[in-house]
Amino acid sequence: MPAIMQNFEFHNPTRVIFGAGQIAALARHVPAHARVLMLYGGGSIKANGTYDEVRAALAGLAHPLLEFAGIEPNPRYETLMRAVQLVQREQVDFLLAVGGGSVVDGTKFVAAAAVYDGDPWDILKTGGKVVQAALPFGAVLTLPATGSEMNSASVISRAATQEKRAFMSPHVYPRFSVLDPAKTLSLPLRQVGNGVVDAFIHTTEQYLTYPANAPVQDRFAEGLLQTLLELGAQVLARPDDVEVRANIMWSATMALNGLIGVGVPQDWATHCVGHELTALFGLDHAQTLAIVLPGILQVRRAAKRDKLLQYAERVWGLREGSEEQRIDAAIASTRAFFEQVGVPTRLSAYGLGAEAIEATVAALEAAGLTGLGERRDITPGDVRRALQLSL
């Protein structure tokens, strides 16, 4: 049967406010009479001036601007529940996330949990199905990577049980997101590389599957991948170039705002496995993806054959040699790119070995994640083989 594009609805309600000086626009987009809570992380926004700009933009609010600080990378349920209590106690009715993906994701959870009647962990346990409302919120993004600034997903970690779970809900799209590329110049290079790799792999999760007669989505995805390859090299050569940062920022947003994923099969196995690696061993999100993806592509090379050949030719310009050689070269080039932008792709680089593979496989089994990928047929055994290729 010929592949066909699937039916879809596409609606993305987030207003993007992009460019230098745009934090000032908060004055127009945060309701002046709302009781506003600003949520942020461990202090980077104070060091790079973002905090002061946000405060200045919101000086005209009718009520004092409240704050919740200390949302950690891979935001924790336990921490966020303290923010939920603050929201309820102070009758907050608008949230403002200022930071990276963890702060935005954490704010999404707080927005949903603050008005949820029941055990808030249900929100993660059901993947968001129980969410029927959420407080409105906006974001000021300081780390391009996750796409959280323009999507309806959130990933939360629970320290007590070493779980990392995602939820999605149309109620948690940000009302707006301010993207000022200059605010990303203070990022450590490790986070810059992480962001490029995360955006790259968001794109492959929606592209490297099987053909679905979706040439628009395919070429948008290939355009993002090629752009990220160029930008990855440029940002290493010119880390102070705000134009490069601007394009990284927009690429990361476009990679996971729903557009390239409409009507096509989606994989997400690399992300599922990666979340377990973060939950068990504390690796950065993108570090886990860089370890997992090359092995998954190898193990799935038959099921992904058509798209791997397309990827090899259109993204990497590989036209010589046999089909098998081109697929091998594309996977090797992908791994080399992650290494080039400073994200190691081997478990050993993080001090992990075969025991980490067994623990990851056991965690996937315990969570019932035994049929992953675009065809829901990636088994724990496949995951083990994939990870063994990245020892």
Q: Which residues bind ligand NZQ (CB under 6 A)?
A: 41-45, 48, 73-74, 99-103, 105, 142-143, 145-148, 151, 153-155, 183-184, 186-187, 191, 194, 198, 256, 271, 285
Could you tell me which residues are beta bridge partners of residue 227? Answer: none
What does 76 interact with, of ligand NZQ, Zn ion, none (CB < 5 to 8 A by kind)? Answer: none
CB of 157 to ligand NZQ, least distance (A): 7
Least gap, CB of 270 to ligand NZQ (angstroms): 10
Which C-beta is closer to Zn ion: that of 198 or that of 276? 198
Q: Which amino acid type is present at position 216?
A: V
Output 271 or 307, the one with its CB closest to ligand NZQ.
271
Amino acid residing at 340 = Q
319 burial class (0-12, 13-18, 19+ CB within 10 angstroms)? Answer: exposed
**Tokens 């992480």 sit at which residue?**
194
Euclidean distance between CA atoms 7 and 22, whole angstroms: 37
Element (H, E) at 293: helix 285-299
Please report how close the Cβ of residue 201 comes to Zn ion at its closest, in angstroms.
6
Q: Which is nearer to ligand NZQ, 49 or 215 (CB)?
A: 49
CB of 324: closest distance to ligand NZQ in angstroms?
Answer: 30
Q: How far is the CB of 369 from ligand NZQ (least distance, A)?
A: 15
Measured in whole angstroms, how far is the alpha carbon of residue 77 from the centre of its chain? 18
Contact characters 156-195, Zn ion, x per CB under 5 A: ----------------------------------------
Rounded Cα gap, residues 279 and 360, in angstroms: 9
Q: Which is nearer to Zn ion, 271 or 326 (CB)?
A: 271
Residue 203 burial (CB count, 10 A):
26
Residue with Cβ nearer ligand NZQ (279 or 352): 279
Subset of residues 83 to 122 that bind Zn ion, contact rule: CB under 5 A: none
How far apart, in Å, are the Cα atoms of 7 and each of 10, 12, 263, 267, 270?
10, 17, 6, 18, 25
Give least dist CB 315 to Zn ion, A: 19
100: partner contacted, choices ligand NZQ, Zn ion, none (Cβ within 5-8 A by kind): ligand NZQ
**Among the listed residues 292, 214, 204, 195, the one whose alpha carbon sits nearest the alpha carbon of residue 253:** 195
User: Do 100 and 107 meet the contact criterion of CB atoms below 8 Å apart?
Assistant: no
Confirm or reject binding of residue 198 to Zn ion (CB under 5 A).
yes
Please give the residue ranges that form the binding site for Zn ion (CB under 5 A): 198
